[in-house]
Amino acid sequence: MSNITMTLNFPDIPLWQGVQLIPGNYRSLPFALEWDKHGFAKQSADEIQKKQIIDQYSNCDYQFITAPPGYSPWANSLGDKEVQFILRSCGDFTGKKVLEIGAGSLYLGERILEQGAVQYVIMDPAVKEKSKDTRLEVVEKYFSKDLCANQRYDVVICLNCLEHLEEPYKFLCELRWLLNKSNGCAILVFPDISTQFGNGDLNALLHEHISYFTLSTAEQLMRNSGLRVLAKETNSDCLRFLVVAQEEFIVSFPEYMDENYIRMPNHFQTSMKKFRNILRGAMSRSESIAIHGATNGANNALYLAQMGQYEHIRIFDGDETKAGKFLPLCINPVKHSASSDYRDYSTVYVAALTYFDAIKKELMQKHHFTEDQIVPLFSSIE
């Protein structure tokens, strides 16, 4: 452990707004991380920049990093995985009252109601849909304990919200208060940055993500919030927790920063150096480059390398909704991963590292690449 201050600081990176109808449509803002007194990495921004970020992501044309379930087959497949974790963790929903914070859609609620829940409340200003099921209520507001009056819930579900919060400690303390004292539990799902920070993976860095957690820092924060972890999973750069309220607990925040965070700036520097060398090598040989994953990480990398105008960069993605659109920093449109154009490349650089194994399997089966032809775009290994 060390008391060295975190020094990750980019003068600016693009404010991620998803793939666009035309290239070059982006704006950039400074990006820096600091160590929060509650024991996790937190984005450092002044009040003006915070307002710019909030305004951007409050727009009606906001595009989710990954669309909520109900928006695409890919999103549905991810949503179904979360449903399975919830059912596996919480058991029988018969007669239960459920609150979901930051749902994004009705998808999860409709499936949990099929399991016998008697009430399902969604609290999310972005959800404009209305359900025909009278047991499902949508409150089009940001979560506040005050909105719940004296209501207690058997299950509280919060998927991919904690990383967006400036005060996750306060949020977890309020969530604890909402749990039914006899049998209440909560499901919490949010990014695990351990591997991404270790690889210097630029997909991890997003202006809309305010707070960043590892397994150990997340567990410590929950203990300090009066939540006891009953079950946990970590895979695909994601943390999943089943927690209950703990009657007696000791609040003890760390005085020092975890060593993994201290090494993090060097990992990003090494990763960017390798990416620049890949591009420069390809340019010197007039070669084309195939990148799999129309992600914010690939967009960040092209911006920081200042080589987005290189005409021989091609972006592929397995999400059919991205095909024909543009990464803001790439002048060529995204192609679907089923495209036969993949045959023109000897190497594929995978930007979507969270799904590297699945992407590699698909490329080997459908396009007959060999294993050594499929390479991570981000790596901190010298």
pLDDT tens across 125-174, in order?
888 888 899 999 999 998 988 898 889 999 999 999 999 999 999 999 99
Residue 275 near residue 218, CB atoms below 8 Å: no
pLDDT value of position 60: 60
CA neighbours within 13 Å on the CB side: how many for 15?
16
Q: What percent of the chain has pLDDT over 90?
A: 68
Question: pLDDT for 103-118, tens place per residue?
Answer: 889 999 999 999 999 9
pLDDT, average across residues 46-60? 74
pLDDT value of position 169: 96
Token duo for residue 330: 């790439």
pLDDT value of position 4: 46
Q: DSSP string of 295-326?
A: -HHHHHHHHHHT-TT-TTEEEEES-TTTTT-B
* All domains of the chain in start order, with CATH: 265-376 (3.40.50.720)
CA–CA separation, 18 vs 25, rounded Å?
10
pLDDT value of position 150: 85
